[in-house]
Structures are given as structure tokens and as C-alpha cells.
Amino acid sequence: MGQRVGIVATGQTRYRSKRKDCSAPDMVYEATSRALADAALTLKDIDAIIFGLAPEALDGINSMDKWCADAAGARNKPFMRVHTGGATGSSVANAAVYHVASGMFDTVLAVAMERVGETPDAQTILNRIYDPVVASDFGLNIINHVAMETSRGMEAYGFTEEHMAMISVKNHLNAFNNPYAHLQINVSVEDVLKSPVVCWPLKLLDCCPRSDGACAVVFASEKKAKRMAPVPVWVNGMAALTDITVPGEIRGGQEQIRLTAARAYQMAGIDHPREQIQVVECYAPFSSLELMYYETLGFCERKDVVKLVESGFGAMDGEVPFVPSGGVMCTNPIGATALIRIAEAAIQVMGKGEKRQVPDVTNALATGYGGSPGPGSASFVTVMVLGKK
Amino acid sequence: MSEHIAITGIAQSKRPTDNKNSLADLIFEVSSEALADANLNIDQLESVTLAAHDMMDGRAITTMLNAAPAGAYLKDEIRVAEDGAFALIMACLRVLSGHFTNSLVVSWHRSSECPDNTFHTVANLSYDPFFYRPFALNDVTAHAIQAQRYMHKYGVSELHAAQIVRKNRSNGVNNLLAHLRSEVTAEEVLKSGHISYPLKALDLPPLSDGACAMVITSSKKLKSSNKPRAWIKGFGWSNDTYYSGDKELAHLESLSLAANQAYQMARINNPFKQIDVAEIHDITSYHELMEYEALNFCPGGAAGKYVDNGSFEINGELPINPSGGCLSSNPYTATGLIRVAEAALQVTDRAGEHQIAGAKTALAHGMSGLCAQSNCLFILTGNI
Amino acid sequence: MSDNIELLSIPGKWDLTYNYTAGETISKFLIEIRDNARIMATKCNQCNRVIVPPRSYCERCFISIKDNWVELEPTGTLEAYTIVTYKFEGLPDPPYIIGYFRLKGADTTIPHFLTGIDLSDLEFARKKIKVGLPVRLIFKNRGQREGRMTDFRIEPLQHDR
């Protein structure tokens, strides 16, 4: 492995359905300047910038990274845009690690954003991610794909719509503790179950919102990180895996997450995740996806998932809190979302989580997910293990 | 660099690209050929880095559909939404980081799926909707303004630009893979009809179909072989302001910065003398002239004089774009990676009919964004 | 900074034209549907997977499989489905069922609408649809087929409406 890489600072914007108060570059500037301020850095400290933006059709500007480059401080600096759909944010973080670990840069800025609020219906655009010749005629989009995965999951895992509702209630409650969260609303199990069915078994309150927002994270070499941050957060394990699964098979997506986690755990020396990891920021835009992570990330066996949900395993006062930030279900600016997971996991290790802080975090886990099953199509999974040591 | 990186496999799509191949087929063809050229089994491949643009491909996440034919099944794959040469930078960083020992790099664009009008419209949509977009700026008109500014600043003439077209199109005739393989005279360029002053039809590149794939391998993992290899001695990249009204358009600042980084890494202090051949991003004929200056092949404002002296002709002191450049083939996103592929072929004596005899050190250049906003540069050699 | 400044946005609409090239492999597949009402798949002889819609390559073995065709029966099973009850801009009016269908002998699935189910009572409809539901493909008449996936519809094999 190349040199060790640490996270020294994070910066996030307030997330909203539509940030009417700022332009796209304004949003990038807001996240970037907050990240710099977080470790008392100036732009002079940043050697290179990696930018994340998912399908630009959501934002309505082709290669919008170029417009936003100045706001990311990238004039006259190495700069490039990474785009792996929903996994964009975590791919940006991985790219930042490579930039530093290569030995070419000491300090790099990863910044990712999306303005999903610019288009009236994101799912119209997300229909165009499928094969234009053989697949896009059938009204496919992300929500109905997840609905299909969920209905299969209900059979395989034995969870019900009530279990999904319990996850939704927990995450909406957590979001109140996160000053950046988009949705901060009181939700009961009954509210979820009675909310309009979008694509059965997903109801409106099982689904993430569409958000505007940006997130920035500063990565540094070991030497610099120790100087820049009182508690540098070390990237101890990371993995990314692209899979081409057969849509409609439950095995596909879950197996991909399991494989990716196994690689990241091996790098980080994690062999008993349930004992060694204190907090998880998983990429779950829909309630049903979060509970399947309990198994695929190695916290329990498949047969125990329902029991864990019922016992409040992932709640703030549970054994291993999942998404203390409120997670993707409460905030989803697509290109930034997976970087927010990493920022939030880093915040937990730094001990800067304030009301959403989980006690005694030494290892935190963040995941990302992009793409979708579809004929011949790829999905992208990332897993990063962050630690105090 | 902590270790050396070799380009061990190269593949470019064949000409002509006909409709027998879907875009995925085209990508599979170059990816599997590059792996075969590198003598690398798919199971030995560790990393895949891709470069593609969604809107230009007409697919909302184009790699979702095109990662599979690029060998990404169960691989650690990442995509940059930049020119193809930036994917090679990402691949190099991944290898230097110690996380991987090899990578497949693939880039593509299929202009025949994206009609000219769509291409120019998407280019216009690259501008913000408030300040730049309403004023008919696109890849042609914005570059025309840049060309005009350059002419104005240095007194370069339309004939100088026409000479670049004449040179590159003439070079392209010898490249079996080039899209346009016919000579044009400077006179024909000047008479080819103004599209957007000072750009005339033949000052602009064609829109082409094409794909390019490359395999890189760390020296740590390289088995000994008699096969000639291109080594990456240096690379650099940088980005200028988006606000093209806020910069000196005639100076390609980010290219100069990228060149400084790459030259320093490769210990180049006199590029005109030390580089034997260069493949640069002639997105218009005028841009090639501006690039001579940014790359320090000649002093600022002197490109016209060097053109008059024939310095960059195929038999000149520093042949530029022996492949015919973008002006002969322009599969948009793949263009920069093709520049690197061509440079690698030159230093390994594999360039066939457009080989520059004895080329040992080559330069390759990729460009992203409008008005040369982002640029990257590679220096390759035939020996370590 | 003033708190009550009026915040503006301006309308935008993208209406872009593309021509998606099917290529030899998909063209053959679509032409077989159009001219012969047949479903053809490609098969990888290394891993034995039968792929439909066909691909010219096997992404797992990373070899070309473009000339290795097999014909599939116009029957299969429902592997996963959803009943869409929300109106997405540019997509069909709800309610409708989208499913992934595994044709008999295939290792992959195809997306399509599941038709022939009465959707006037969604609760009732949901009870009738199950993973594993046997289905059949029903092609449009010869002159109406245009070489698209929409040249056929898919409905339950057993019709007991």
C-alpha cells in the first residue's frame, strides 16, 4: 500500500428540496469553505481537487463541474470529475485517497454536489439510465427497481412493511439531531404504512426525498493529517466493486455488497464487524435496503435481520447505530450522497457529531451504491472503513 | 515516481466504424484487444478506469451500460467524466497508490448516435443558463472567439491555421485508423466557408465514432518480455477558470501548468529539443497553434513563425500529430486517450506508416471542457 | 444580506435527438421478433449462460459470443415486479405492472409490462401476482411489428379473469 491517508475536515451545506437561495457554484463554495474552515485551512493548503456530480441531466447543465470548478477553488489546480451514479460521492473519496496515496499530493479536496431540485421529476431522467434499445420502453426507474428488490427481499428475509416502517421512523427521528438534514419531520409507523403507495411495497415515507446540496471532505497524507487535525480519521479499508447482476434476482445486489465489504474489512483488519464497528452510515435511500445491510455488512445472519429490527439494533441507543445523521432517507443530493456518508462517519470518529454523536467510536463504516440492475447494466458498490487508529 | 508504469496494451477501434457494432460491441472490441495486446487474462485484471460523457452518449449514466463490455465485471472500476486521457491519469494514480498493479483504461464516443446538432446543443448546455448559455456559445462559437483573440494578440493569420489543417490532414492519410484520410490544401481550407469567424469548415474537426483502450502495468508486476513498451515518465493536469471572459483566452494557462508538472517529473527542460514527436489536442487548427506556445515548443506569439519554418511538419524538427490529430479523427471523449495511444505506438516503433523514425520521447495531450479549460499531459519514452 | 429578496429561477427544457445503434447482435434479435415472432438469445459456451436480450460478449468470461444463437420459447416466469401507482413525468399513466421475466432456458431476465391483470382493485391484483408466476409472450400481428421490445406483450399463462 502507498502512504497512509487521513480525513482532516468536512463541510456540508444545508440540504433542501430546492436551495432557492444559491446557485450551483454557491452551493459548492458553501461546502468547500466550511470544510476548509473545519481544519483552519486556506485554499493554498489544497494541492488538487476531485469533483463529484452524478447524471447532469438532473441538474440541467452538461459537465456542470466545469461551471463549479472556480467555486471549488480549482482555478490553476489539478481537477477532475468522477461520476459513478449514486456512488459518485464515495468514488470521489476513493479518488482522493489515490491522489494522496500516490505520493503526488499532500492535501486534496473531495467535493460533490447535486441539484436534484432543478428537474420536476428525477425518475424521468433515471428511466434513461437503462438500455435505450431493449429496456427503456417499460417505465423502469430506480424506485420501481428497488420495489422489485424489496418484494423479493420480503420473501428471502421475512421482513414486512411494518419492519420497513420501523426503519423509516428511526431515521426520521435521527434527522432531527442533524442540523444539515433535509427532512426533519415526525413520522410514526402508522404514518408510514398509511402514506401513499408509490410502487408496492414502497410507500412515500419509505422513500428518500430529492435534495439540493453539496459536501466536501479534505484528505491528507499521514504527516500533514497529524498536523492539521486534532483527531485525524484514518482510511483503514476501502473497496469498490462493479457488478453486472441479473435484474429480479435477490442474490445479485446483496452478494455484491457482501463481497465489497469483505474486501474492505480485510484491508482494515476487521473480522468481527459487530464487535469492532460502532457506527454505520450505509447508503440506503429506501427503508427496505437498510435492513438488508444488517446482513450483507456482516452484522448478523439473514435469519436474524427481523429480530434485530424489532429489538432496535440500529437505533441511536441500540447496539450499533445505523445512520445517526438520518441517512439517505432524509437527505439525497445524489452526487453528494455517498460522500455525505463518509463525512458523517468521519464526524463520528472525530467526536464532532454533537447531538447525533455515538459514544466511543473507534471504527466507523460508510457505504455507497450507484447504478441499477437492468439488462446488461452495472451497479457500483463502495465500502470504506474509517478509524481512530 | 515511486515506481514506473508501462503501457503494455493498446487498442483503437477500426475504421470505418459501421453499424454492425453497437456502442457496447465497440467497447468490448477495444477492451479485449488491449488485454490481448498486454497478454493479460481478464482474471489478472485488477482495475478499470473509464472516461465518458453521459449527455454526449445520450445515456443518463453511460457507464451503467458500458462498464460490462469494458471488463468491469466484479472489478474495482471508476469513471471520470472528462476527456479519455484523464482516465489514464486516474489509472496511474491508482497504481502509484499501491492499491493496484494494473489497470484497463477505456474511453469512447459514438458521434453517429449523437447528431451534430445535438452535439453542439449539448455543448451549449455546458454553459450556465444565466450568463453564458443565452448567447449562442458552443464548441464552435466559443472556440472561434478564442481563435479570434489569439489572432488579434499575436498577428497570427488565417493562413497559419490553414497550414495546420493541411499538415494534419496530410498526416492522417498515412494513418489506417483515421476517420478522414484525404489531403486538403491550405487554399481549400481558406475557401471552405466561414462557420464562425475566423473558423472555417475545415478548421474544425470532424465528429467521429471511435473507442480506445489501454492497459498499464506497474514495473513491480512486469514480467520480462522482448516486446517494446512505452513508459510513462511524467504526467500533469490542471484546470483554468470556467469564466472564459475572465482569462486571457490566447494563453492556455492550464495547459502550461500541466506541462510544467509533467516536464518536471520527466526532467524535460527543453521540450522542443528533447521531445521527438507530439500528439496534441487540435480541437481547432488555431488551438494547435496556441498549444505550441503553452507547451513551450516555441516562445509566446511565435507559433506562426515556426509554422512558416516547417518545424512541426512530419519531416520537421518536432513532428506534431503524425496520426492526423483530431482534425482527422474526433471521437470526442476518446480523443485524448487516442493521443496517448499514438504517442505510445511512436516510442515503441509500432506506428506503421506514420512512424517517426527513431522517436524515443513523445508527448501526448488531452483536453476537457470548453475553451481549453482543463488539460492533461503525458511524457512517454521507449526505454525506462 | 437582505432577507426578503425575491429569488428567481428560469425555465429550461431539454429536447435532444439521439439515434441509438442496435448493432448486428441486437438487430438480429429485433428482426427475429419483427419478422418471425421469435426470441433469440446468445449463449456463452464457456460459462453456459444464455443471455437475453442478447449481448455480443460474455462480460464474465470476457469472450465474444456473437454468433452463438439459441432460440427461446415464448414462455417464462415472473421474477420480480412492482405495481406503479404514481405518475412519473414522461412515463405511462398508472396503474401498471413492470416485471422482470425469465424466459424458459435463459439465465438473464427481460423487463416488460405485465398485462392481462385487472388493476381496478389493486389489493386483489397483488394477491394474484407472485414471483414465479408462469407467463407467455403474445406477439402483435405481423404487419404491426416494428422490431421493438414492445412488439409483444406478456401476460399470465393461465387466464382466469
Kindly determine whether residue A376 and residue C98, on different chains, have CB atoms separated by under 8 Å: no
Nearest to A289 by CA among A323, A324, A259, A318: A323
Average pLDDT, chain B: 95
Same domain, A112 and A241: no
Cα A86 from Cα A88, distance rounded (Å):
5
Q: Same domain for A226 and A256?
A: no
Structural domain total, chain C: 1
Q: Is A334 helix (H, G, I), strand (E, B) or coil?
A: helix
Residue B267 backbone zone (phi > 0: left; psi -120 to 50: alpha; other: beta): left
Place of cell 445505523: A322
Domain that holds residue A51: 5-120+210-233
CA distances from B285 to A53, A121, B173, B308, B312 (A): 32, 42, 17, 15, 13
Compute the half-sphere exposure of residue A126: CA atoms within 13 Å on the CB side of its CA. Answer: 23
Domain edges within chain B? 5-114+207-221
Q: How many Å apart are CA A358 and CA A346, to the nearest integer? A: 12
Using CA atoms, how far apart are residues B188 and B163, in angstroms rounded to an integer?
10
Give me the residue from B21, B55, B115 closest to C17, CB to CB: B115
Euclidean distance between the first and the last CA atom of chain B, given in angstroms as a whole number: 12
Q: Kindly state whether residues A92 and A131 are assigned to the same domain.
A: no
Q: Residue A223: which CATH number? A: 3.40.47.10
How many secondary structure helices (H) and strands (E) does chain B include?
14, 11
Average pLDDT over residues B342-369: 97
Q: How far is CA B293 from CA A312, B247, C99, in A?
A: 65, 16, 59
Phi, psi of C52 (to 5 degrees): -145, 135
The residues facing A98 across adjacent strands are none
| Residue numbers of the domain that contains C69 | 23-156
CATH of B5-114+207-221, one of 3.90.1150.10, 3.40.47.10, 2.40.10.10, 3.30.2140.20: 3.40.47.10
Residue of C nearest to B43 (CA): C61
CA angle B252, B168, B52 (to 5 degrees): 60
Distance CA(B356)–CA(A61), nearest Å, equals 42
Q: Is C3 on the interface with A (CB under 8 A)?
A: no
Supply the mean pLDDT for chain C: 89
Q: Please list, in sequence order, all residues whose beta carbon lies within 8 angstroms of the beta carbon of residue B41, skipping any fewer than 6 positions away.
A: B35
Mean pLDDT across B165-181: 97
C13 lies in some domain: no
Mean pLDDT (whole number) for B52-72:
95
Closest-CA residue of A relative to C11 is A118
Go through chain C and tell me how many residues it has.
161
A245 and A220 in a common domain: no
Q: What is the mean pLDDT of each run of 10 residues along chain A (389 residues)?
A: 88 94 92 97 97 92 95 97 98 98 97 89 83 85 90 92 98 98 97 95 96 97 97 98 84 85 98 98 97 96 96 98 98 98 98 98 98 90 97
Nearest to C17 among B22, B110, B118 (CB): B118
The average confidence (pLDDT) of chain A is 95
Residue of chain A minimizing CA distance to C8: A20
Instruction: Kindly state whether residues A154 and A14 are assigned to the same domain.
Output: no
Asked if residue C42 is part of any domain, the answer here is yes
CB B41 within 8 A of CB C62: no
- Residues β-bridged to residue A310: none
C1 falls within a domain? no
Q: Per-residue pLDDT for B311 more than 80?
A: yes
The whole-angstrom separation of Cα A132 and Cα B23 is 11
**Stronger pLDDT, A70 or C15, i.e. the higher one:** A70
**Residue C15 falls within a domain, yes or no?**
no
Of the candidates C41, C77, C76, the one whose C-alpha atom is nearest the C-alpha of residue C56 is: C41
pLDDT at C79 > cutoff 50: yes
Query: What pLDDT is attached to residue C15?
Result: 78
Contact A199 C86 (CB under 8 A): yes
* C62 CA: distance to closest CA in chain B (Å): 7
**One domain for residues A224 and A283:** no
Q: What is the pLDDT of residue A302?
A: 95
Reported as type and span, the H/E element at residue A226 is helix A222-228
Residue at C69 is within a domain: yes
In terms of Cβ atoms closer than 10 Å to its own Cβ (0-12, 13-18, 19+), residue A193 is middle
Give B103's pLDDT tier (boundaries 50, 70, 90). Answer: very high
pLDDT at B384: 63
C135 beta partners: C76, C156
- B15's grid cell: 475504421
The grid cell for B305 is 513563425
More confident: C5 or A91: A91
Bridge-partner residues for A109, per DSSP?
Answer: A49, A218
Interchain proximity C91–A246, CB inside 8 Å: no
Query: Does residue B342 sit in helix, strand or coil?
Result: helix
Condensed to tens digits (0 to 9), the pLDDT of residues B256-303 reads 999 999 999 999 999 999 999 999 999 999 999 999 999 999 999 999
At B279 the pLDDT is 98
CA distances from C127 to A165, A249, C121, C131 (A): 21, 21, 10, 11
The three cell numbers locating residue B178: 483515421
3-state helix, strand, coil in chain B (%, to 5): 40, 20, 40
Q: What's the pLDDT score for residue C161?
A: 44
**One domain, residues A201 and A214:** no
Instruction: Report pLDDT for C2.
Output: 60
pLDDT of amino acid B17: 64
CB A67 within 8 A of CB B128: yes
Task: Measure CB to CB from residue C19 to each of B24, B31, B112 and give the nearest one.
Answer: B112
Lowest-confidence region among A335-349, B6-20, B25-39: B6-20
With a cut of 80, say whether residue C3 has pLDDT above it: no
The pLDDT score that the predictor gives to residue A252 is 65
Helices (H) and strands (E) in chain C, counts: 2, 10
Give the mean pLDDT of B355-368: 98
Question: Which single residue is written with the C-alpha cell 426525498?
Answer: A209
Eight-class DSSP state of C6: P
Closest CA to A115 of A219, A233, A19, A218: A19
Position with higher pLDDT, C15 vs A259? A259
Report yes or no on C57 lying in a domain.
yes
**Could you count the other beta carbons within 10 Å of the beta carbon of residue A3?**
15
Q: Which chains touch A (3 or more CB pairs under 8 A)?
A: B, C
Name the domain count of chain A: 2
Exposure string for B194-233, b = 16+ CB within 10 A, e = fewer:
eebebbbebbbbbbbbbbbbbbbbbeeebeeeeeebbbbb
Q: Any idea which residue has 521531445 for its cell?
A: B275
